[in-house]
Structure 1
């Protein structure tokens, strides 16, 4: 099983978003930030001169990959991603990206489950990261047992 956190622009890893983590035992609280003077896919090789990126989709993804993984949405925009006897509780907070509210989505395919915090999805637009847009996104991930009743 592999659990990872990714920032994605148009489906590819995005080098201009960063994360600040604070861990308390089995819980990690993550806050997301813009990283100015970086590229889209590489920190320095594809840096736009004006600091603006064209995009159709920008999201933060908590994903779990492996045999028999599953996910479910709980009350209050919380999500449980499970693999065998272990699970990760994902608790995104209401947030904003460039003044717009973040949306949450659960994705499931064979061998893959994810919670996406969608910053933007729609027609192509340009977003400047120099200066950075307003970003107020926070989410926690807590390791726990996936036994019946553990997800409530």
Structure 2
């Protein structure tokens, strides 16, 4: 497992993740897995040391080579002001909204402290009602068990 960092001078460093928490396995939703499989089959060679995303000429993807295709994709999708890193934010917000705990978010994101993960624990207007509904379900189950003598 490697981490790449493109420096301001244009050079790229390849090394281990920033922390031990960065080396992790993350489960993905099936909708993402199926699209990732298509991408891997079409664009990625075999082997343990290959990059998942490559530039047009098959080399390591660089920020300068990514900017134009990203802008074109946003335009075709009718979006503006979306940064690539926003995808990470969206995924982690979805994980939070699906019920991930703070520790689970930290594990998924590869963070060793809770500071960054707390950003994704947004309070949604409907979320309080969902929590109340879940609490009610648990209370009803407990009362049901109590009433049945188990």
TM-score, normalising length: structure 1: 0.22
Give the structure with the higher percent strand.
1
Greater length-normalized contact order (CA 8 Å, ≥ 6 residues apart): 1
| TM-score using structure 2 length | 0.22
Between structure 1 and structure 2, the one with the greater Rg is 2
| Higher helix proportion (structure 1 or 2) | 2
